[in-house]
Structure 1
Amino acid sequence: MSAWADWFAEQRSTRETAGLQRILRPRELGDELLDLAGNDYLGMNGHPEVRRGAAEAALDWGAGAGASRLVTGTTAVHTELERGLAEFTGHEAALVCSTGYHANLCAVTALADRDTVIISDAHIHASLIDAARLSRARIQVVAHNDLDAVRAALAEAAGRRTLVLTESVFSVLGDTAPLTELATACAEQGALLLVDEAHGLGVLGDGGRGLVHREGLAGHPHVIMTATLSKSLGAMGGSVLGPGALIDHLINRARPFIFDTGLAPAPTAGALTALRILRGRPDLPARIRERSAELADLLAVPRPAGAVVSVPMRSPQAALAAQAHALAAGIRVGCFRPPSVPDGISRLRITVSMGLADAHWAEAVRTLTEIVQGHRDRTGTLSAISP
């Protein structure tokens, strides 16, 4: 065991020197910090109706699903949520998984194998990267949002089953993918485009239906979608959406779905309740975008398409120092550091949330503006590298 102990110590020392050591920080009940670090974009996690729906489902169905979805782990709540998600986003069918990570694993590993080519945007989420590797497909990574590179890769893969992976809103830079052009390129070559709407659902499109819906691609024969239930819907879990034939295939072939215990009834019902609230409050997504634009303008960084404002910092240490300064001021913000950032640039990750009252939001904006300005370099800029 001493060899392993030495290795663990060496690994930790290397991380600490580079400013990349991470630790878990439990939250306590009654925490009065203003939370701009989580992913509760619409404030649904703390919404009394969402909490009540989750609590009642736990009392009705128990603490967990009790088994995999194919055994006895599918409840009426799961089915109702799947119908609601499909209808809301304009897809024929949906399949709910235990996490958003699992949703991507399910979709990619069930669709791709050794005979498949996967064309992957360089900035996709780790879950899609891991899914591509697990699929054993031939993977070609292309430069971020490089349409010409995607078209060239598609032409090279002609005649083989091909899957293109992208996100609607990228979580680090906050930019969007050219979905219409990607879908056209895929259709021309008979490829399938998988769009992860984790950061688009509830934020973009008509009433928060996402970028796929906004671009008229819901139901497109060459486009499928994944999404999380843990961001705009404030619960947990994930979903794959597309034609009924896709969902039938996943139920029968997606190992992360088949062999995993189903999503617990409480978050399932919580997400369903949040979806109902979102339907009745189509103004919420627009208000999120307004707050994102306001904060980005004051921090002198590009406006994001979604709810995450990304502020580049000179180093991991500088990002950690600014994060600690914000915490001392009563505001919790996130911190992107390698390897979580695809371009290697450390950033403050500030999540806009409608869970903050207007007065608290104004206080947070004022404080964060002062903190970021205080951490700029001597030339008055955050970094020589723009996001």
Structure 2
Amino acid sequence: MTNSFSIHHLPGRTIQHDGNPYLFFSGTAYLGLPQHPAFQQLVIESIRRYGTTFGSSRNGNLRLAVYEEAEAKLAASAGAGAALTLSSGMMAGQTVINWLRAQKALFIYGPNTHPALWDSPTRVLPALSFADWAAQLPEQLRWSDARDHTPGPIAVLVNSLEAVRSEFYEFSWMDQLPADRPILLIVDDSHGLGVLNVGAQGYGRGIWPQLPGKRRDHVRLIVTASLAKAMGLPGGVVFSDAHIVAELRQTAFFGACSPMPPAYLDAYINAEPLYVEGYNRLQRNLKQAETLLLPTGLFQHAPGYPVFFTEQDDLYAYLLRRGVFIYSFAYPTAADRANTRIVISAFHEPADVQQLAERVYEYCDRIKTNSPYI
């Protein structure tokens, strides 16, 4: 198991541990919002107006208008009909799962689907590549329909991409889904929102615009996401059509849970220039990292995505001894193999990426010469 660090400050370009500085290429703050002084100032000003939390049901008889205002902005940004915010991405996913259970849905899972969408803590996922699974899905749905007589819809649950191994998924298979039974496609977009599919607002709209078949009557879309990654907000969101969002809002699961802190949504409403700035800085850093790192042949990387995955797990220890901290730990459970990857963020400077690349090239040279990793 990879050794972990405990620190007492927010990670940014660097972290400090035992008095030593390390360049930081991990985490999921892709747009660098939590580290941005102007964004922090927006949150401070919003806390003065809304406090630190809102300890009430969203369905109570006193409501804060900022929730609906922010949800309308989120929905418009993503291109969805409506949005609903919750206290976390896990809560967003489980609100949808509980609603699907009430619909008596038949659950069909794609490979590596995020635990936020699991209907059981011991859910077993297909041991296939996403492409192979998608190729088999239409026939699987027809077979499931023939043997299954539950009255509810079929719920197909997937991730928007393979965030750990930096692999984009292709969704044209949606147009091949059978049309003789209602189908709900539920997509976890925690790692794509804010990064994928740049829109008119100047930063990533997420997976919604990429999904074909969304106007077909028998395939309805639900996209869930954590807002605590690229968006820099402690909460989660569900995107869908207005009818499904209204149904989710009326569930006991939603009505009984505490909402995300309203101050952060107020800050989000006023932070669009900072999101655009973060996206542009991320693209600059990504282009530099792709130019420098990909020729090594060490990394699997989806073009334009801020993750560089490697099978060389000892790269973590090598870089750590040279003042560079990258992502490497078992996920999603402690029993899983460590995933080693480099994460690029908007808060990096060109000199940081250059120094990272120099250390990686040194590692590659030692592999070629069979030199010890010291």
Given the two structures, how large is their TM-score scaled by the length of structure 1?
0.78
Q: Per-residue displacement from partner, 1:173-229 (whole Å, max 9, x unpaired)?
A: 211222232354265643111111111122221331123213456666522211221
Aligned 8 A contact 1:34 1:360 in 2 = yes
Q: Which moved more, 1:110-119 or 1:198-207?
A: 110-119
After TM superposition, the structure 1 = structure 2 runs for residues 124-203 of structure 1, keeping only pairs within 5 Å, are 124-129=113-118, 132-133=119-120, 141=126, 143-145=128-130, 146-158=133-145, 160=150, 161-182=153-174, 184-185=176-177, 189-203=181-195
Of 231, 234, 244, which aligns to 2:232?
234
The structural deviation recorded for 1:376 is: 8.4
Q: Which moved more, 1:168-177 or 1:67-76?
A: 67-76
Amino acid at match of 1:331: V
1:52 aligns with 2:44: no
Q: In structure 2, what is the equivalent of residue 214 of structure 1?
A: 210
CA distance in 2, matches of 1:119, 1:25: 39
CA distance in 2, matches of 1:201, 1:101: 15
The structural deviation recorded for 1:126 is: 2.1
1:83 aligns with 2:46: no
CA distance in 2, matches of 1:100, 1:112: 19
Q: In structure 2, what is the equivalent of residue 337 of structure 1?
A: 330
Amino acid at match of 1:326: L
Aligned 8 A contact 1:57 1:269 in 2 = yes
CA distance in 1, matches of 2:285, 2:93: 26
Aligned 8 A contact 2:316 2:328 in 1 = yes
Q: In structure 1, what is the equivalent of residue 307 of structure 2?
A: 308
CA distance in 2, matches of 1:212, 1:341: 32
Aligned 8 A contact 2:165 2:309 in 1 = yes
The structural deviation recorded for 1:325 is: 3.7
The structural deviation recorded for 1:355 is: 0.9
The structural deviation recorded for 1:275 is: 4.3
Higher helix share: 1
Amino acid at match of 1:226: T
Of 113, 117, 120, which aligns to 2:106?
117
CA distance in 1, matches of 2:337, 2:94: 27
Q: In structure 2, what is the equivalent of residue 248 of structure 1?
A: 246
SS in 1 for 2:108: strand
SS in 2 for 1:157: helix
Structure 2 stretches lacking a partner, 5+ long: none
CA distance in 2, matches of 1:358, 1:370: 19
For the structure 1 residues 290 and 240, does the alpha-carbon distance in structure 2 shift closer, same or farther, using more than 3 Å as the test? Answer: same
After TM superposition, the structure 1 = structure 2 runs for residues 24-63 of structure 1, keeping only pairs within 5 Å, are 25-28=6-9, 31=16, 33-63=22-52
Of 320, 323, 328, which aligns to 1:327?
320
Aligned 8 A contact 2:311 2:340 in 1 = yes
Q: In structure 2, what is the equivalent of residue 316 of structure 1?
A: none
CA distance in 2, matches of 1:67, 1:377: 63
Identity rate, percent:
23
Amino acid at match of 2:128: A
CA distance in 1, matches of 2:62, 2:351: 43
CA distance in 2, matches of 1:273, 1:368: 39
Q: In structure 2, what is the equivalent of residue 269 of structure 1?
A: 266
For the structure 1 residues 336 and 180, does the alpha-carbon distance in structure 2 shift closer, same or farther, using more than 3 Å as the test? Answer: farther
Aligned 8 A contact 2:26 2:325 in 1 = yes
CA distance in 1, matches of 2:266, 2:178: 36
Number of corresponding residues: 349
